[in-house]
Structure 1
Amino acid sequence: MTILVGFTPTPAGRAAVDFAIEEAQVRATKLLVVNAGIGEQREEAGVAAGKQMDQVRFTLENSGVDFELVQHLRGNDAAEELLALEDEHPEISMIVIGSRKRSPVGKLFMGSTGQRVILGSSVPVVAVKAP
């Protein structure tokens, strides 16, 4: 069993990682933590910089859980990437994502990554809000 975590360098993204660490400890399972984006822009929203990836790696290393941390910038947006990874890894038993409140207009123009993951996934999806 593996828990797939969508990480973004935001309070909600860090809350998702923290929740997933707790779940992995309780379930004695591995984490696959991914930061993803299309990769066409130098500073793309949601894509973590090197220092931010180092910080989450430090948190994961100190948690004692078995993990893999990856960053994919291969043309997929975050929702597409998470769903593709779920298809590629049949051992994934849960997806954990960060969530934040958005206005109806924001959802209309920007879409909702969380909603796309929830509706497209064949495993349970946990949406975690930042404290």
Structure 2
Amino acid sequence: MSVVVGYSTKPEGQAALTAAIAEARLRSTSVLVVPNTDADDPGAHAAEFEVAGVAWETRPSSPEGAIAENLMEIADAEGAELIVIGLRRRSPTGKLLLGMHAQRVLLDAGVPVLAVKGD
């Protein structure tokens, strides 16, 4: 069992990573980091995992346009107990529509999903 996190270098991705580390500590498990794109390298956060005492690995980034599907497939294949995703703040009009990838994960994931807001 592990915690799977969708990661990007944006504030919502950083918030998701922080929440995933906290959840992994609570659950005494590891974190599987799934970058949204090839440019989203979580390596800069290695010290955070070390300080928290949480083991972590990365998985391949999502093929273009398949972020939600990739995240859910990895969670299913790895027997994850939780998926963590980050949400960005939206304008009043934007609040009517949740982000496409986040909505797919929230509605279709086979495991619980924790959605956190970025700073």
Gap runs ≥5 in structure 1: 40-46
Report the Cα distance in structure 2 between the residues aligned to 1:29 and 1:102, rounded to whole angstroms. Answer: 32
* Cα displacement string for residues 78-99 of structure 1 (whole angstroms, at most 9, x for unaligned residues): 111101112322x201100000
Report the Cα distance in structure 2 between the residues aligned to 1:3 and 1:9, rounded to whole angstroms. Answer: 19
Structure 2 counterparts to residues 96-111 of structure 1, below 5 A: 96-103=84-91, 104=93
Shift of 1:27: 1.1
State TM-score, norm by structure 2: 0.82
Shift of 1:76: 5.3
One-letter identity of the residue aligned with 2:55: D
Q: Is the 8 A contact 1:95 1:124 kept in 2?
A: yes
- Aligned residue pairs: how many? 118
Report the Cα distance in structure 2 between the residues aligned to 1:35 and 1:64, rounded to whole angstroms. Answer: 21
What is the alpha-carbon root mean square deviation over aligned residues? 2.4
State the match for 1:93 in structure 2.
81
Shift of 1:105: 5.8
Is 1:7–2:11 an aligned residue pair?
Answer: no
Q: Is the 8 A contact 1:57 1:69 kept in 2?
A: no
Q: Is the 8 A contact 1:16 1:97 kept in 2?
A: yes
Report the Cα distance in structure 2 between the residues aligned to 1:112 and 1:17, rounded to whole angstroms. Answer: 20
State TM-score, norm by structure 1: 0.76
> What percentage of residue pairs aligned between the two structures are identical?
36
Gap runs ≥5 in structure 2: none
Report the Cα distance in structure 1 between the residues aligned to 2:57 and 2:24, rounded to whole angstroms. Answer: 13
Q: Is the 8 A contact 2:33 2:42 kept in 1?
A: no
State the match for 2:23 in structure 1.
23
